[in-house]
């Protein structure tokens, strides 16, 4: 469960945050989201000291604002990742301090695309952290060498040249298992998209229906069969 808190006076912005968060969290099939929106300081302070664990916090910060509340939040919620909502009139010197500095910043005014990209990176960073803590990794054993690959960093598995390869970033590793075996053993976010590919659906950014391929993070492109097109289209809605 991803617990999200939006502390922001602007109700419409809180709603945009909720929608953007769900868009990102829903890419991870095993995750659900609970969302708490707060519009005033008194309620925030009550919730902040209430003992609940927060995954992500969106915190509105204005020019000249006292940082003591933010510092106290950091102390009480050390595992929480914080995104600051501020604008260019606020000097970074006000919030880039030890015990205060946020994990991400969204500067107003922003476009819908800027918010999407910033939030995508923010949520992915949280998921990466959680995955690393849970030690969810794919084991490769080759000639006595053991390699552990975090599942959330694996782009896809590909069958070619009578072998299977796993890709992480720009690196490929040979795997001595068939796609059929992998399909039943991998976590739910890995989905078949083509007879030669199993893709990490959490890394898919776009489906090109015309030319039948998926666009992953970093611009990586892999084919998608007609059978799976609509499934991925629904996934990205």
What's the pLDDT at 37?
A: 97
Percent of all residues in the chain with a pLDDT value above 90, rounded to a whole number = 73
Per-residue model confidence as pLDDT tens digits over 159-183: 999 999 999 988 999 998 999 999 9
Whether residues 30 and 63 share a domain: the answer is yes
What's the pLDDT at 132?
A: 61
Q: Which one is predicted more confidently, 208 or 57?
A: 57
Q: What is the CATH number of the domain that holds 74?
A: 3.40.50.2300
Whether residues 31 and 87 share a domain: the answer is yes
Whether residues 15 and 117 share a domain: the answer is yes
Whether residues 24 and 108 share a domain: the answer is yes
Instruction: Name the domain boundary from 133, 161, 188.
Output: 133
- pLDDT band for position 235 (cuts 50, 70, 90): confident
Question: Using an 8 Å Cβ cutoff, are 59 and 7 in contact?
Answer: yes
pLDDT at residue 237 is higher than 80: no
Q: Which one is predicted more confidently, 66 or 127?
A: 66
Instruction: Name the domain boundary from 93, 111, 133.
Output: 133
Whether residues 26 and 115 share a domain: the answer is yes
- Say if strands 56-60 and 2-7 run parallel, antiparallel, or are unpaired: parallel
Q: What is the CATH number of the domain that holds 204?
A: 2.40.50.1020
What's the pLDDT at 114?
A: 96
Whether residues 127 and 150 share a domain: the answer is no
Instruction: Name the domain boundary from 117, 133, 149.
Output: 133
Per-residue model confidence as pLDDT tens digits over 114-163: 999 999 999 999 988 876 665 578 999 877 778 889 888 899 999 999 99
- pLDDT band for position 93 (cuts 50, 70, 90): very high
What's the pLDDT at 135?
A: 55
Side-chain half-sphere exposure of 165, counting CA atoms within 13 A? 13
Contacts for 49 with CB less than 8 Å, ≥ 6 apart: 76
Whether residues 26 and 109 share a domain: the answer is yes
Q: How far apart, in whole angstroms, are the C-alpha atoms of residue 18 and residue 1?
A: 15
């Amino acid at each position: 469960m991803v617990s999200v808190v939006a502390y922001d006076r602007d109700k419409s912005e809180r709603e945009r945050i909720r929608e953007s968060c769900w868009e990102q969290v829903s890419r991870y099939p095993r995750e659900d989201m609970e969302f708490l929106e707060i519009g005033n300081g008194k309620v925030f302070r009550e919730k902040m000291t209430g003992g609940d664990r927060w995954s992500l916090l969106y915190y509105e910060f204005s020019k000249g604002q006292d940082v003591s509340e933010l510092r106290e939040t950091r102390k009480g919620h050390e595992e929480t990742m914080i995104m600051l909502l501020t604008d260019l009139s606020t000097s970074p010197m006000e919030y880039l301090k030890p015990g205060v500095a946020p994990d991400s910043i969204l500067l107003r005014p922003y476009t819908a695309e800027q918010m999407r990209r910033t939030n995508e990176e923010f949520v992915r960073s949280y998921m990466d952290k959680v995955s690393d803590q849970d030690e969810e990794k794919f084991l490769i054993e080759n000639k006595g060498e053991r390699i552990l690959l975090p599942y959330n960093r694996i782009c896809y598995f590909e069958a070619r040249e009578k072998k299977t390869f796993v890709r992480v970033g720009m690196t490929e590793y040979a795997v001595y298992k068939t796609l059929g075996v992998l399909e039943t053993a991998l976590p739910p976010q890995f989905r078949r998209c083509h007879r030669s590919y199993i893709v990490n659906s959490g890394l898919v950014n776009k489906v090109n229906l015309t030319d039948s391929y998926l666009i992953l993070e970093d611009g990586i492109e892999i084919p998608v069969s007609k059978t799976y097109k609509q499934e991925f289209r629904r996934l990205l809605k």
